[in-house]
Amino acid sequence: MGNRTASSETRALPMERVIPMNDADDIVKEFLVESYENLDRLDRDLVMLEKSPNDREILASVFRTIHTIKGTSGFLAFNKLGAVTHVGESLLGRLRDGQLTLDREITTALLTMVDAVRQMLTSIETSGVEGERDDSALIARLTLLQRADPPGKTAGKAQAKIPEPGELKAAAATAGAGALPVEASVKVAKPSASPRPSPSPSPKLAQVEAGAIAESNPKPAEPPSPSSSDVGDGQKMQAARAQGAGDSTIRLDVSLLDHLMNLVGELVLARNQILQCANRTEESSLLAASQRLNLITTELQGGVMKTRMQPIGNIWSKLPRTVRDLALDCGKQVRVEMEGQETELDKTLVEAIKDPLTHLVRNSVDHGIERPEVREAAGKNPEGLLSLRAFHEGGQVNIEIIDDGAGLDQERIRNKALEKGLITAEQAGHMTDREIVNLILLPGFSTAEKLTKVSGRGVGMDVVKTHIERIGGTIDVQSKPGKGVMVRMKIPLTLAIIPALIVTSAGERYAIPQVSLLELVGLDGDQSSKGIETIHGAPVYRLRGRLLPLVHLKTALHLEDAKLENAKTMTKTKTKADGGATLAENSAASTLENTMSTASGSKRVNIVVLEADGRQFGLVVDEINDTEEIVVKPLSKHLKDIAVYAGATIMGDGKVALILDVLGLAHGSSILSEGREHGISQELEAQETAEGAKQKLVLFAGLAGARMAVPLNLLARLENIPGSQVERSGNRWVAQYRGQILPLIRVSHALEERRRVPPPKDALSLPTTDMLQVLVLEDEHQAFGLVVNQILDIVESTLEPKSPSTRAGVLHCCVIAERVTELLDVPAVLLGGEAFEPPEVPSGAELN
């Protein structure tokens, strides 16, 4: 049987040491941990082996694993375990010696054995014994398989067998249907020409290989493609490396790492305090020591963080087995390709994405990839391809699950969503393909509640989505009809330390995870009171023309004086708020503060623009402090139910701050429930505006109380300019505005100018004490300030002309808000403004 050589290769087992008997528990525990690990590898190895049945290295590894379990179980007197593994080992021994060739039947039997072993191990772990079980059927099956092929027949049988089963055909898929015959034949030549690295291939094996090649020659598409063997090699290499690393690694209890993590957190705080003290003293030695402490602490923190990182391959390794079993059940052929197994993420996250990932993979195999005959009919390779890709991008881990199946039936999704009342018919008409595909992520789209149940495409996708979002990730589905589906998950690297924005509300600090942060908007002075409008009491803010629903953090947390704040920001006069946004982006706060110095009293309003579940909303906070890397601490069960908190953290000064859960906040403020509709209605609105049906207008009081209007889209912003800042330049009135000179035109004069003779120069004088309300109009060359008597309102209205213009500078009259309103002809007014310059002053004078 050749067991001797194999056993010499096994790792030194604990039992080989001399151990006092009361340490037997430790041995059992170690045995369990080690065996679980080995079993996981076994699953992977067996599936790989099925693809390349002659890989002696994998075979030897499988053999060793089973042998180790058998040996230890004998030592620990787990007899049933020993019996099952014994027959398995015998079977594997025959395979290894080349007396048998692995086929699907044997693989299935061996996998069943692995499952039985796993069950027994679980039983040993929970109850200490193997449990009542009867494995005689399995043992009989394994024994039978050993005898099925007497050694003499092996070579012939293997030759006949190899090209037959789906495996080789399956492997052919890798080569791609369109592979050139020439290329393919080169590939065929390769395995025979270059000697395999397997140790001392037996003559029989060579024969088998030769046979296989001879068989496949007529059909060049058949041999295993280089890509698949590359993958195999890569995995082999990794396995070898893992074995080598076994000597230099130790196993640790995760709670120990958590404890270390806590200690490092404390150390960081202590360091911060020492740094503060050290900076106050003159003692240079203390300064130097504290600097060193600083460096070491940072490095230590990084190191401890790293200990929690795990390659994603750890959970992927179980997937080929899942796919194989499921594909067999469904009568499909599926190949799994993996890329980026080494991508690391935090252990807790690896655990958290395990179930969603398995669900998505099952979905792809079960519903995405078609049956081989359907695929062939569609001109595709009969073997489906399931790709798993993982990579780092922008501080996040991207995981993609791609199948080359039939894609999602958009018509069906649309109909189902309509039927379930998730969208209205009107919305359905406006949705893009991608939006429709992503409808399957909506709760209520499917009826299944558990992850494990698979009954229709998109089943339980909302559960997957919830799981992913709970750990701060996002999920996106893309589908190409006939080409396949790609599901992309974006997962944060770690939950333990995240970058966050620190804000203050009601004197307490809160941390907002940076992932959901889009931008910050600061409204100063006048903007703070005018920038925020309300829709039936619900505060909104115009962010670049779109309405952004606002949530006051104080209101959301039911803190005091939130209502007061709300009332303050809700004012009658509305203003176009783009200025605020641009302000935040340019951080040109000072310029505006100058022009608006009089707007004292009203506080600065800070809006944190957040995104939750694809919908944006603004969170109004008292103060925006800083961004910081925070260590996330879980909340105790007493606070778990409060959806607006994601956790807590300890700030540099040792105080505790709460971490806000943006998703929970949005749900709590019903942003999300209304958000979807809102977004769509906005699009509709935009479309209507384009058709000219409705337009946003700024209403203002013109001549002698007459109401006038200007389309909002012609305005750059609304400003209040103090009369004291108006200066005279040449024959014009100007004001300094954002570092530019803004010519001012008084509406009354501009209009009257066209009617009569130019008024005397004194009539041009502007009041020097009052605040001027100015509509800033901007074209590509120059900005003009249109001075109006009073800005009344911003309304949305149709611009149906009711009567023709009565005077120049007015386009036509219409009825807005039940009052006759003149619509200003802005270009004409601007021309008029230039026209009233006396001829002796050249028109470019103000530029000097």
Binding residues (CB under 8 A) for other proteins: these are 22, 24-26, 28-29, 125-126, 128, 253, 255-256, 259, 262-263, 265-266, 269, 508, 557-559, 633-639, 641-642, 644-645, 648-650, 654-658
Structure tokens at 504: 């203050």
Nearest CB to other proteins, comparing residues 506 and 771: 506
Min separation Cβ 262 and other proteins, Å: 5
Residue closer to other proteins, measured from CB, 558 or 756: 558
User: What number of residues does the chain have?
Assistant: 848
CB of residue 659 to other proteins, shortest distance in Å = 10
Minimum distance between the CB of residue 644 and other proteins, rounded to whole angstroms? 7
Do the strands 707-711 and 819-824 form a parallel or antiparallel pair, or are they unpaired?
parallel
Cβ count within 10 A of residue 696: 18
Q: Which is nearer to other proteins, 260 or 309 (CB)?
A: 260
Cα distance between the two ends of the chain: 102
Q: In which order are the strands placed within the sheet that holds 732-737?
A: 715-722, 771-778, 783-788, 740-746, 732-737, 726-729
Closest to other proteins by CB, 26 or 778 = 26
CA 164 to centroid of chain Cα atoms: 44
Of 282 and 641, nearer to other proteins (C-beta) is 641
The smaller minimum CB distance to other proteins, of residues 126 and 248, is found at: 126
Identity of the residue, 29 or 563, whose beta carbon is nearer to other proteins in the bound complex: 29
CA distance linking residue 177 with residue 380, whole number of Å: 8
Cβ proximity to other proteins, 645 vs 700, nearer residue: 645
Taking the complex as a whole, the smallest distance from the CB of residue 305 to other proteins amounts, in Å, to: 15
Residue 269 vs 330, nearer CB to other proteins:
269
Residues in a beta bridge with 477: 487
SS3 string, 309-335, reads: EEECHHHHCCHHHHHHHHHHHHCCCEE
Min. distance of Cβ 423 from other proteins in angstroms? 32
Distances (CA, A) of 11 to 65, 117, 237, 244, 557: 10, 20, 18, 11, 58
Are the beta carbons of 294 and 278 closer than 8 angstroms? no
* Among candidate residues 174, 32, 158, the one with its CA nearest the CA of residue 103: 158
Q: How far apart are CA 118 and CA 113, in angstroms?
A: 8
Non-local (6+) Cβ contacts of 172 within 8 A are 221, 222, 223, 224, 225, 381, 383
> Among residues 525 and 647, whose Cβ is nearest to other proteins?
647
Q: Name the strand (E) or helix (H) holding 303.
A: helix 284-307
The C-alpha angle 117, 119, 124, rounded to 5 degrees, equals 95
Residue reference for tokens 């130019």: 758
Q: Quick one: how far is CA 776 from the chain centroid?
A: 41
Select 251 or 756, whichever has its Cβ closest to other proteins: 251
Q: Considering beta carbons, is residue 5 or 22 the nearer one to other proteins?
A: 22
- Nearest approach, Cβ of residue 557 and other proteins (Å): 4
CB of 508: closest distance to other proteins in angstroms? 7
Q: Which CB sits closer to other proteins, 72 or 528?
A: 72
Closest distance between other proteins and the C-beta of residue 471, in Å? 19
User: Cβ of residue 553: shortest distance to other proteins, in angstroms?
Assistant: 9
What is the nearest approach in angstroms of other proteins to the Cβ of residue 86?
24
Nearer to other proteins among residue 7 and residue 273 (C-beta): 273
Q: What's the closest the beta carbon of residue 304 comes to other proteins, in angstroms?
A: 12
Q: Shortest gap between Cβ of 20 and other proteins (angstroms)?
A: 14
CB of 374 to other proteins, least distance (A): 50
Residue 721: CB atoms within 10 A of its CB come to 23
Beta strand 810-816 pairing with 803-804: antiparallel
User: For residue 63, what are the contacts with CB-CB under 8 A and spacing of at least 6?
Assistant: 6, 89, 92, 93, 95, 96
In this structure, what DSSP letter does residue 23 have?
A: G
Tally of helices (H runs) and strands (E runs) in the chain: 31, 30
Q: Rounded distance, CA 327 to CA 334, Å?
A: 6
For residues 514 and 611, give the distance between their C-alpha atoms in angstroms, rounded to a whole number.
10
Residues sharing a CB contact under 8 Å with residue 777, sequence separation 6 or more, in sequence order: 710, 714, 715, 716, 783, 784, 785, 786, 826, 830
Amino acid code (one letter) for 679: G
Smallest separation (angstroms) from other proteins to the CB of 493: 22
Tracing tokens 């946004």 back to the chain, one arrives at: 581
For other proteins, the closer CB: 648 or 814: 648
Cα three-residue angle 579-583-588, rounded to 5 degrees: 130
Nearest residue (CB) to other proteins, 32 versus 330: 32
Least Å distance, CB 308 to other proteins, is 16
Pairing of strands 484-492, 396-403: antiparallel
Question: What's the CA gap between 167 and 225, in Å, rounded?
Answer: 12
In whole angstroms, give the CA distance from residue 25 to residue 27.
Answer: 5
Quote the CA–CA distance of 551 and 617 in Å, as a whole number: 7
Helices (H), 630-670: 637-640, 662-668
Cβ distance to other proteins smaller for residue 144 or 263: 263
In degrees, rounded to 5, the angle at the alpha carbon of residue 50 between the alpha carbons of residues 47 and 53 is 135
* Residues with Cβ within 8 Å of residue 725, at least 6 apart in sequence: 595, 735, 736
**Cβ closest to other proteins, residue 559 vs residue 716:** 559
CB of 795 to other proteins, least distance (A): 38
For the bound state, the minimum distance from the C-beta of residue 650 to other proteins, rounded and expressed in Å, comes to 5
The contacts of residue 600 (CB under 8 Å, 6+ apart) are: 525
Pairwise CA distance, residues 131 & 750, whole Å: 97
- Closest approach of Cβ 505 to other proteins, in Å? 9
Cα 40 to Cα 114: distance, rounded to the nearest angstrom: 9
